[in-house]
Chain A
Amino acid sequence: MSAIEVKNLSRSYGDIDAVKDVSFTVPEKSFTVLLGPSGCGKSTILKMLSGLEQVSHGTINIGGADVTEVEASKRGVSMVFQSYALFPHLNVKENIQFGLKVRKVPAEEREKKVAEAAQVVGLSELLDRKPANLSGGQRQRVALARSIVSDQSVCLMDEPLSNLDSKLRAEMRDEIRDLQKRLGLTVVYVTHDQVEAMSMADQIILLKLGEIVQVGAPEEIYNSPNSVFSAQFIGLPPMNILNLNEIDVSSLDSKIYSAVDSNKNIKDIGVRPEHIVFSKKGLPVVVKSIDYFGGETVFKLTHKEKDFFLREPRQPKIQLGDQLNVSWNLDDMYLFDKNDQRLKS
């Protein structure tokens, strides 16, 4: 059963269409990530799910009920904001139980719930602190605790990790994912960071300019992107896209050449950096830069003014300016047509 079902959802501001005819479902107890660059409408979709933003067209179902016109507090959702939205004059405990007080939950039950939630996120010692005296990670935990005590089955998160440093971000990623599994929450999570999406999501909804580009599990989108946009947005460094008119096609390996030559609709070919290897024959390249990361080395190569990346787990003896050849397996190559859509070979 799906916890959330969105049909033909649109939102326009005057002449600007922020979200265009978007439909998707979020399975119960799953972790769904709305992923896309800034301005793709992901936060607008989340706000429409929460009820804080009006819907222009379309319907939203949460838990089997049509909530399109239902006010925010009656939708059965909780939300974690980018800035955490903690009340600065209230201490941690008051912040966590704010909603419980509004809903007039008896004091005894409130105490119990706050204590439980604080325990879950590891804040039991800090209940008397004001938000100003907490670290970024602790504030994040207060926001999570507030969401937990609300007892809603659906939790919406709007770039919750973007204000944390990278080490803390990695920690909180695991923690949020763990929390979601333990509490059986349905999470809709907005981010522009593909690493967060890849490492946390059960399902990624990739958006661009208010429209859905691709929906699927992380590995599905990584292994079979349906377009140049999908291919390049997921993966770091992104997939190399080589325009056939800009490269020396005749230097390609014969098998690859015949595959490319057989279809006149092909405009670009795409190869992931880890699938490109140095070889005796193939595309002639010059080494432009070398980034050494320890576990891997990323080479930036140029072929006829066109830059692309090669990722190599070992540390080959190659220097800047070296002239080499690269190639790849036929199976690791993606083909795209003139509309940047994937061609199934």
Chain B
Amino acid sequence: MKDSTRNIQGWLLFTPAAILLLAFTHYPTVTTFFQSLYTNKSILRPRRFSGVEAYESMFSDPIFWKVFVNNMWLALGTIPTSIGIAILMALIVNKAIPGRGFLRMAYFTPTMLPMIAVANIWLFFYAPEIGLIDKVLEIFGFEGNNWLGNPSTVLPSIIVMTVWKEAGLFMVFYLAGLQTISPELEEAAKLEGSSRWNYFWRIQFPLLLPTTLFVLINAFLNSFKLVDHLFVLTKGGPDNASNLILYYIYETAFSFLDISYASALTIFLLALLALTALAQFFFLDRRTHYR
């Protein structure tokens, strides 16, 4: 076969994927970027080039800063906790204990549920007075709370739910990581008099570092990507106390119909996620260092 024929075949094979990528990823990204540089078109005023105006108003928009800070708190609240719980669960189900298969499945179940279903379950937990949490509090004589209606408890409530949802997935990564560690290492450490605790901190945790890095970055990306539950639980309220960047973009674009501003927000989020993804590439290269 001639080289030119091979090239044509290659391009033909590549075309379907290329069309999809161009049509649904690259083209929208580029148009979004251009839309952010123009004002919105209306019947009264035509579209005009506005440069970085949308970005300027973004940085002076108190709601933008609020949702950004909310998002950072969400990341800070969910990531370390879910990683800690995931490691703990992985250590438990990595042991030869009775009912191990059942436990693994139980820990993983929240991950398999769609976010909307999870939100519905937790809506029942958090409901004031009739909700599970308030019922249990009542038994012990504590005052109930409108968990999702109170600006000071709504974000922590969402953090708790996200941890519950994500820890199971991270557990699977940690379990895989733990299983690559030879059991002879534990025996050798035990023979040297190393306690369980010392073995974890000196051997297991350092060896799980590549896994932790991977999970860390994924958890960070997830904290910006996962907003489905807001549609069910709070719609970002009360007073934007539980609003997150992606949900704010959705609201701006489709409720307030401010496409220009929504585009600027989108480009900001894309840049943030792209930077994180780059960091992932950069750091994960160091994984080889242990092998």
Binding site for B on A (CB under 8 A): 50-52, 72-74, 77-79, 81-83, 85, 87-89, 98-99, 102-103, 132, 146, 150
Contacts and interface: CB of A to CB of B under 8 A. Distances in A.
Contact of B184 (A51, A73, A83): A83
Given A83-B182, A85-B182, A77 B191 contact: yes
A19 to B, nearest CB: 18
A87 B184 CA distance: 10
B197 to A, nearest CB: 11
Nearest to A74: B193
Given A72-B190, A73-B193, A85-B187, 8 more contacts: A51-B191, A72-B191, A77-B191, A79-B191, A87-B203, A88-B207, A102-B192, A150-B192
A83 B188 CA distance: 11
Contacts of A132: 290-291
Contacts of B184: 81-83, 85
Interface string B174-203: 000000001011011111111000100011
Interface residues of B, number: 19
Contact of B188 (A74, A85, A88, A89): A85
B193 A102 contact: yes
Contacts of A51: 191
A50 B190 CA distance: 10
A52 B189 contact: no
A50 B290 contact: no
Nearest to A131: B290
B104 to A, nearest CB: 23
B206 interface: yes
Contacts of B187: 50, 52, 72, 79, 81, 85
A79 to B, nearest CB: 5
Contacts of B188: 79, 81, 85, 146
Interface of B: 182, 184-185, 187-194, 198, 202-203, 206-207, 209, 290-291
Contacts of B193: 73-74, 99, 102-103
A89 B191 CA distance: 19
Chain B, interface SS category: helix
8 contacts: A52-B187, A74-B193, A78-B191, A81-B187, A83-B184, A87-B185, A87-B203, A98-B192
Nearest to B183: A85
Contacts of A99: 191-194
A261 to B, nearest CB: 56
Given A83-B184, A85-B185, A132-B291, A73 B190 contact: yes
A87 B201 CA distance: 13
B188 to A, nearest CB: 4
Please give me the 10 A-B residue pairs with the lowest Cβ-Cβ distance, nearest first.
A99-B192, A73-B193, A85-B188, A85-B184, A81-B184, A89-B206, A102-B194, A72-B191, A52-B187, A102-B193
B192 to A, nearest CB: 3
Nearest to B187: A52
A160 to B, nearest CB: 12
Contacts of B192: 73, 98-99, 102-103, 150
Contacts of A83: 182, 184
Contacts of B207: 87-89
A76 B291 CA distance: 32
Chain B CB within 10 A, most for which of A74, A77, A102, A150: A102
Contacts of B202: 87, 98
Contacts of A98: 189, 192, 194, 202
A103 B207 CA distance: 22
B129 to A, nearest CB: 52
A73 B188 CA distance: 10
A52 B191 contact: yes
A50 to B, nearest CB: 6
A24 B190 CA distance: 26
Listed residue (B188, B193, B202) with the most chain A CB atoms within 10 angstroms of its CB: B188
A190 to B, nearest CB: 14
Contact of B191 (A50, A82, A87, A88): A50
A82 B189 CA distance: 15
B182 to A, nearest CB: 6
A150 B189 CA distance: 12
Nearest to B190: A72
Nearest to B195: A102
A79 B190 CA distance: 11
A148 to B, nearest CB: 13
A88 B290 CA distance: 6
A344 to B, nearest CB: 44
B183 to A, nearest CB: 9
Nearest to A82: B184
Given A85-B184, A89-B206, A89-B290, A102 B191 contact: no
A46 to B, nearest CB: 11
Nearest to A75: B191
Nearest to A81: B184
Nearest to A104: B193
A99 B187 CA distance: 12
Contacts of A77: 191
Nearest to A78: B191
Contacts of A74: 193
Contacts of A89: 203, 206-207, 209, 290
